Every structure is written in structure tokens, then in C-alpha cells.
Chains A and B, each alone.
Chain A
Amino acid sequence: MTDLSASSFVRQDLVAERAAPTKTTGFIGFLRTRLLNSPGNILLTILGLLLAWYIVVPTVRFLLFDAVWTGKDRTACLAEKAGHEVGACWPYIQAKLAQLIYGFYPEAQRWRVNLTYALGAALLLPLLMPRLPAKGLNSGLFFFAFPVVAFFLLHGGGIAGFGVSWTAGLLQLFEQSIGGAGDLLVNLSKSSAIAPLLWVVGKVLVLVGVLIHWLIFPLTWLRDQLQASSLPVWGDFLVTAVIVSAVLFVLGGGVRTGRGALLGSLLTFAGIAVGIRLMGLDRGGFPIVDTRLWGGLLVTLVIAITGIVASMPIGIALALGRRSTIPLIRIFSIAFIEFWRGVPLITVLFFATYMLPLFVPGNFAVDGLLRALIGVAIFTGAYMAEVIRGGLAAVARGQAEAASALGLSWWKTTSLIVLPQALRYVIPGIVNSFISLFKDTSLVSIVALFDLLGSLRASFSDPVWTTPTTAFTGFAFAGMIYFVFCFGMSRYSLFVENRLNAHRRH
């Protein structure tokens, strides 16, 4: 046995203590590793700090220290009066605040706008918090009930009928259009080379028109009876509720399983009735405020929310159409999406403003705001379709196959299995297109609507507030509003993305 201590491989004395390693965490560590680790980096740091100094200091001075806070008109914001170099002219914003938020909405009616804002916030906030329950009910309220309520709140006016009258009216229009087309073809056939064909098609169309006329006769008769009664809206409402609930009850499976559908339908109609009663829609509703009086942030939010609400169904339909194997539907979806994605939004707005009125019957006067809304909805819908298509492609194929194996129809597979997963995958993408939609709403100021940016621009021309810093103040204020909305949305999108990828984090 050898003596271990005699072995040259084992050292006898302790190693001298080494100095602690250089700190690489915390503020000091950050300074060492990221700012001052080499001469070149020190130079860059100094340059960067100088750059920041020359941007931050003038901005803060402009917004806070040199700013004028009180005053009645432009003289308060002139350097001669204030006695120092003048920064932001905040009294100008105070004077124009109402115009920037409400436009020319009548002052006595502004509570309606505030109520709409409050309702929207109350419905939207729970929808954005993933922890809260009842997402289905919540999104139903936000996407279907809220737009209708908001319309009657903001625009005012009442309704003369309900489901029966509307359906009858629409079907009657359709019948007239078909009949008109038939008559036109028959007339054309007198002077055409393919006369017999045109004549046959025309006659068939006329026949279809007559058939539709007889088919919808019970409905029109019912409508006329209801309109002649003493309470047309409530009578119509009652009949519609009964018919729709009965149909849903039967479709839902009758006595065996249809009770849930019946209950849901009755509850929905009860909700609608409460809404009609509260807003007094059967008695003319609120006084009508013409959309030309709307302006400022109100128009920006109306366009953004309508765009969001309308673009989702358009986008889902187009995305499903583009993935469909039915040739005509696929080709149409591709052409539609690529067309609207290929042109700038401003030409779409021009299209909606100048061309759309030519495409509807002359007796329909399409409101200016509505035209812009249609343009924005189509445009955003096309972009949304591409986002949702990405989500549909990300759903594993086995999901749809498993659903078919269970015997679900295409509609059930899509609406219960594929779409919920696809939409969840693309929430960040959807939020991103909402951000660009929100920014794009500013373009409506070019087609003579006064959104936030348009109202701001209009307020510059007020001679009462013409000072050298008016424009900068206005842009600073509007910029903050836009930034808060867009930045908030982008942070939310990041939050959702992190939540979705929680299982991939390490």
C-alpha cells in the first residue's frame, strides 16, 4: 500500500482564492457588458446619449415646461404675451376638445355618445380578459347586439316594423328585380341574334318572379294586416318571435332536445324587447342626429369598431371559400381577396364614395359615413381572410378527419372543430390587422368625413387659435390618442401570443 500523500498527483496546499468574477447582472453589470465594454462601444454610448438628450429635452420642454396651460384665445400662446419661448398651447386643446371627441354632435345629445362608449367598454373589457367566463355570450353581445344598439343610440330614430315586415319588404324587392330582369330580356329578344334563347330565359325569369310573388303572398298579407293594426311594432315582434322560436324548436329536435334552443330564442327575444322598450324604438326612438354632424374620435371609433365587427364574418367566409374545393367559389374568393388587397385603401374609399352610389337604385341615398364603412369593411375583410386562412392551415388535418369520422357534417366540423382552433391560433394576427385598421381609419378624412385627424386639421384653420405652435400641439395631442390605442392593442397581442405559446416556453 502506497502513501497517498507521497503521490505527486495530489496537491498538499489549498489553492489561493480567486477574485470574484466580474458582475454581469444588475445595473452595474448592464453598464459593463452592454455600454462600456470597449472603446468603440463607449463612443457609441456617448453618441446615443447625446442623440437621446437632443430629442428628449426639447420634447419635454415643449410639452411641459414651456407650455401655456390657461388662456382664452391665441394671444395667451404668443411669445410676446407669455414672456418666454412658448411650447405647447394647451388651452387650444381645451377649447377644441369637444370638437375632437364628438365633432358637431349636438351638445344636449352627447350623453348618448358617452353611454355608447361606456357600453362598448363594458362589453369589450371582459371579452379581452381570458380569465373571465361566458365568452360566447359576451362575444355575441359585443358582435351582434352592441352594433345595433349603438346605431339606434348614436343615430336615433325608431322602427316601423320588425322581422315579418323586413323579410316581406326584402323579398318583394327581390321579386321586382327578378321580374324586371325578365321583362328586360324579353324586350331585348326582339332585336337580338340569339332571340329565342333570350326570350326563353326572360320568360323563365318572369315566371320565377310570379312564383315568388305567390310564395311570399302569405307573408306580405300578414305584414299588411300587422301594419294596419294599432301596435304594428309589437304585433310584428310577437309574430316574429313565435315563428322564429317555433322553427328553432323544431330544428333543435322538437320535444326531445329542442327545449334549449327554444329557451335561448325566447331569452334573446325578451332581450330585444327590453332594448326596444328602453330606447322607445316603437315610438320613434331618440331624435335623429345626421351622420354629417358626427366627428372626431367618435367617427374614428365608429369606423374602427364597425370595421372590426364586419370584417370578421367577411374574412371567415372568404377564407373558407378560398380553401373550398368547389371551383367557382374558390376562384371567386381568390379573385375577391387579391383584388381588394392589391389596391390602396384610398382608392377603395374613392370607389365607395363615387362609384357605389351609382350601383344602387337611384332612390336609395347612401349616407356618406355608410359608404366609407362599406369600403373599410370590404378592404379589411380581404386582409382578415388571409390571416384566418393562415389559422385554418395551422389546424392539424386529423382534427377535421376525426370530426368526419364521428359523423359530423361539414358545417358542424367547421364551426365546432376547425374554426375555434383556427381563430385561437391567429388572435395575434387578428389584433395586428385591427391595429392597421385603426390607423387606416384616418384616411376617411380625405373623403370629407371628420374623424379625429380630419377634425384636428379643421381646427387648425380657426383664426382664434392661429399661433406658431398650434399645429405641433394638435399633433402631439392626437398622436397621444392614436399611440395609446395602437400601442395598447399591440401589447395585448403580445400578451395573448405569450399565453398561446405558454407550453413552448422554457
Chain B
Amino acid sequence: MSIAPRKPPLQFALRLKRALGGKTGWNGFAAQIAFAAILAWIAYEIVANARTNLETQHIASGFGFLNYNAGFDVNQSLIAYNNSDTYWRVFFVGLLNTILVSVIGIVFATVIGFIVALCRLSPNGVLSRIGGIYVEIVRNLPVLFQILFWYLAVLAALPAPRQSISIFSTFFLNNRGLIVPLPVSEPGLYPFLAALAAGIVVALGLRHHARRILFQRGHMIRIWPYVLGCLVGLPLASMLIFGWPFKLELPQLKGFNFAGGARIIPEFVALTVALSTYTGAFIAEIVRAGVMSVHKGQMEAGSSLGLSRAATLRLIVVPQAMRVIVPPLTSQYLNLTKNSSLAVAIGYPDLVSVFAGTAVSQTGQAIEIIAMTMGVYLLLSLTTSALMSIYGWRINRSMAA
């Protein structure tokens, strides 16, 4: 009597089991069904309740309201807007204002962050302590607290327009905001921009060429005089031929207010200052951690190869530090953008303030408007995290190579 070998189990059934229930098999499948049933029940409850509640409050759901007239004013707008425009336009006005304050905040935050990080890394004892104290104080206070501090305490304590604080007689700071010179375009603007663009393109081409020569033949060629010539000389030549690209309209005190120049509203100033100092402190810590993550031996190896300190930093330390710095830095940029929604506390007309604030209270379309607002931020952060995973993947690949 021979023992018949057992048949192997059916691969198809196993695969199906795995696809439907993961490692736990049919138990997992049953758990999923139960979970789906609970989710369906919750979703049903939400939809049913929302429908009844909206009916009792006489609110028509749907996105039709976006074409109605908004009927309220917005005190800062990058695109033409008046109170007879639609809610669509309000949406875009708010979105552009959010983007504006985020971009400017990101620029300042990066500058502040790198400066503070340099202070903290500096061998000088006083500077590194000052940097450390700045970071500790700013990081341990809520960002809304700081926004309100700048808006309600500092900016409100500024003098009236007639006693403005003047900076070189071009910038004026008072309790109505910051008055800056306004660039007004002249006929020479377009040739100037074209010359600048051409200069940048040629300079990039030169750099590319120089790198190719370096990698192929090992020759260092000197290109910086030509680059400088393209970047400065071309625009200069265009200015000589076509005249000034723009002139600055200086603000002047006339009566009780300023004529000429552009006024930056105090809400914008407070929000930008608070967001960039707050995020700057976080960026400083990220940069410091990134630089310190590069092993000391790297620097020593660079010097033993005969590279100068600057060259070692530029070619060896910074590229390695950047790998550590970039992912958290991006998430800080994202945080700054999300924190810019706190504009609603001081009335800066960003997306949340004008759209999810004023528009909701006027139309009562809470579900649609808040979903749209959340959608905008969600899209932004999902895009960023997708870009970051591509970056991480490329870094991993280059490290493996």
C-alpha cells in the first residue's frame, strides 16, 4: 500500500483568499464585510439626517449658488473684483490671496530659518545662544497667539499716518499698513524683460556647457565673466536703448493720508511677519539637524583631498545635508500654507476668511463651501506628498547606485 502524495492546494483559491482578506484569510474577509456594513450604515445616517435638516432649514443643496452675486467687498484682491461679482470670483480672490501670503511667507521663512540656523551652528557662543533662545520662544507659543500679537499689539501701537515711521523716506509704516513705492511700467519694460530672459537662458546654457567640458575632458573653464555679462550687460544695454523699464512712484504724505505708492494692508503685514518668524524657527531646527547629520569625517576627508573649506561645504556637505533637509522643509512649507488659513482671525481676506467665512454666513451652503475649501488644501498637500515620494525615490536610487 503506497501513500498517495497530498495534492497541493488550489493556487487560485489561495490567491482569491489573499486578495479578499489579506493575511487573515476568510476571517479578514468577514471582518471587511462587517466593516463595510457599518460604514454604509453611518453614511446612510449622515445623508438621511443632512437631507432632513437641510429641508427643515430651507437650504437648497448644490453648487448653483456659485453663480449668484456675492454682494460683499473684499479689502485686498489681486484680480479685479467688486461686490456684484459671483461667488466663483470670491473663491478665486480668496485662493489668490492665500497663495500670495503663502509664497511671500515661505520666502521670508526660508531666509529667517537659514540665518537662525547659521547662528545656531556658528562657533560663536553668543550668536548660537541667541539663535537657541529665539527658536525656543517662538516654537513654544501658538501661531495664532503670534498673529494676534503682531496685529493687535504691535501694529495697533503704530502711529497714525501723519506720524508714520519713515524708512529712508520710501517706506512708511503706520497703523493703516505699510506704504511702499509702486513700480509703474514704462515703454522700456518689455525689451528689458526680454533681455533679462535671454541673459538667463544664455547663462544656463554656458553653465551646462562648462559642466560637460569638466566631466568629459576634466578641464575647468572660466565662465563667470560671460555669465555676469549676460545677466547684467544685456538688461543694461536694453535700458540704454529703450529707456527705464519702470519708475518707482514714491508715496507722499498729503493731508491725512498718503498719495501714490501702494498700501500693504496691516492684516497682510501681521500675517506674513507671524507666519515667517514662526515657520522660520522650525526651518532653523531642520537645517541645523540636516547639517549636523553629515558626518564629521566627510569634512575631514574633503580637506585631506586638498579641497578648500568653501569647496568642501559646497561640494560635499551641502548636497548630503540637503537630502536630509528637503523632505521636512517641504512639510514646513505646507504647514505655513495651512497656517495661513488663520487669516480668518484677523480678517485678512484669504480663502478660509472670505469663502468659508463670509460666503458661508451669507448663503448657508456650509457643506458645499467647506468641502471645496478642504478640497483645495487637500489637493495641495496630496500633490506635495506625491512630489516628495518621487524625490525620496530618486534619492534612494542615487544612493543605491
Stretch in A63-71, A97-105, A221-229, A442-450 with 4+ CB within 8 Å of B = A442-450
B395 interface hit (Cβ, 8 Å): no
| CB-based A-B contact count at 8 angstroms | 181
Question: With contacts A44-B122, A52-B130, A326-B21 known, is A343 near B374, CB below 8 A?
Answer: yes
Question: With contacts A471-B153, A482-B141 known, is A328 near B53, CB below 8 A?
Answer: no
Question: With contacts A358-B54, A471-B156 known, is A446 near B345, CB below 8 A?
Answer: yes
Question: In the complex the two chains form, is A328's CB within 8 Å of B142's CB?
Answer: no
Question: In the complex the two chains form, is B153's CB within 8 Å of A44's CB?
Answer: no
Question: Once bound together, how far apart are the Cα atoms of A487 and B136, in whole Å?
Answer: 8
Question: In the complex the two chains form, is A351's CB within 8 Å of B142's CB?
Answer: no
A486 interface hit (Cβ, 8 Å): yes
Taking CB as reference atom, which chain A residue is nearest B40?
A181
Question: With contacts A35-B125, A475-B149 known, is A326 near B356, CB below 8 A?
Answer: no
- Cβ < 8 Å to A, chain B residues 31-85: 31-32, 35-36, 39, 41, 44-46, 48-50, 52-54, 56
Question: Once bound together, how far apart are the Cα atoms of A327 and B24, in whole Å?
Answer: 11
Residues of chain B lying within 8 A (CB to CB) of residue A269? none
A278 to chain B, nearest CB (A): 36
B2 interface hit (Cβ, 8 Å): no
Taking CB as reference atom, which chain B residue is nearest A482?
B141
Taking CB as reference atom, which chain A residue is nearest B32?
A328
Question: In the complex the two chains form, is A34's CB within 8 Å of B125's CB?
Answer: yes
Of A48, A332, A479, the most chain B CB neighbours within 10 A belong to A48
Contact residues of B: prevailing secondary structure: helix
Residues of chain A lying within 8 A (CB to CB) of residue B21? 326
- Cβ < 8 Å to A, chain B residues 367-400: 367, 370, 373-374, 377-378, 380-382, 385
Stretch in A110-118, A154-162, A359-367 with 4+ CB within 8 Å of B = A359-367
**A 33-70 to B, binary, CB cutoff 8 A, 1 in contact else 0:** 11101000100110011011000000000000000000
Taking CB as reference atom, which chain B residue is nearest A443?
B144
Residues of chain B lying within 8 A (CB to CB) of residue A490? 139-140
Question: In the complex the two chains form, is A350's CB within 8 Å of B370's CB?
Answer: yes
25 pairs, A vs B, C-beta closer than 8 Å: A34-B125, A35-B125, A35-B126, A41-B124, A45-B124, A177-B44, A180-B48, A326-B31, A328-B32, A341-B381, A343-B377, A343-B381, A344-B339, A344-B377, A345-B338, A346-B342, A350-B352, A351-B370, A355-B367, A439-B140, A446-B344, A472-B153, A475-B152, A475-B153, A487-B136
B residues with a Cβ closer than 8 A to A are 19-24, 28-29, 31-32, 35-36, 39, 41, 44-46, 48-50, 52-54, 56, 122-127, 130, 136-137, 139-145, 148-149, 152-153, 156-157, 338-339, 341-342, 344-345, 352, 356, 360, 366-367, 370, 373-374, 377-378, 380-382, 385
A residues with a Cβ closer than 8 A to B are 30, 33-35, 37, 41, 44-45, 48-49, 51-52, 177-178, 180-181, 184, 324-330, 332, 338-339, 341-347, 350-351, 354-355, 357-362, 410, 435, 439-443, 445-446, 453, 457, 460, 468, 471-472, 475, 478-479, 482-483, 486-487, 490
